[in-house]
Amino acid sequence: MVSMLTTEAELELQEECTREETLVYHRPDSLADVYTHYCPGCTHGTAHRLVAEVIDELGIRDDTILVASVGCSVFAYNYFDVDACEAAHGRAPAMATGVKRVHPDKIVFTYQGDGDLASIGMGEIMHAAARGENITTIFLNNATYGMTGGRWPRPVCRDR
């Protein structure tokens, strides 16, 4: 481990902190150990971590299938260490519907931003909900089309 710690007391502290029984914060197992491509200030990193922590806590990593959205977070499959696929812009719930019906015993989830889910994909999410599809959708409302330069997705930014 690369360390700037010098004094013996500090080294002891480091050893104490990284011991398994005292370790309280580490990368979730279902989050892959890769460099991030998200820009500084983007909330995807935090959201990814929270979702990954939940996957770990529920112990469902081996049974989970991710459908990624379009936008920066299409690369969610680079970060979540689960089986994954892409969908057309806004159509992740439709894709997830198909995946879930083929694999009813798996946990299928979509991870979508507001541009994907609430602008272009409003129809898909509404109808998936109306049909009562047994899928999970993580909706990240950061009020930004990040991939195309930070434009505002219309339906969610009136009060911004």
How far, in Å, CA of 87 to CA of 37, rounded?
Answer: 20
Least distance in angstroms from the C-beta of 76 to another protein: 10
Q: Do residues 143 and 160 lie in contact, with contact meaning Cβ atoms separated by under 8 Å?
A: yes
Is 98 or 155 the residue whose CB approaches another protein more closely?
A: 98
Least distance in angstroms from the C-beta of 61 to another protein: 7
Is 72 or 156 the residue whose CB approaches another protein more closely?
A: 72
Least distance in angstroms from the C-beta of 60 to another protein: 9
The amino acid occupying position 82 is: V
Is 64 or 144 the residue whose CB approaches another protein more closely?
A: 64
HSE-CB at 148 with a 13 A cutoff on CA atoms is 9
Is 51 or 156 the residue whose CB approaches another protein more closely?
A: 51
Strand partners, 83: 65
39 DSSP assignment: P
Binding site for another protein (CB under 8 A): 61-65, 74, 77, 80-86, 99, 103, 106
Phi then psi for residue 80, to 5 deg, are -75, 130
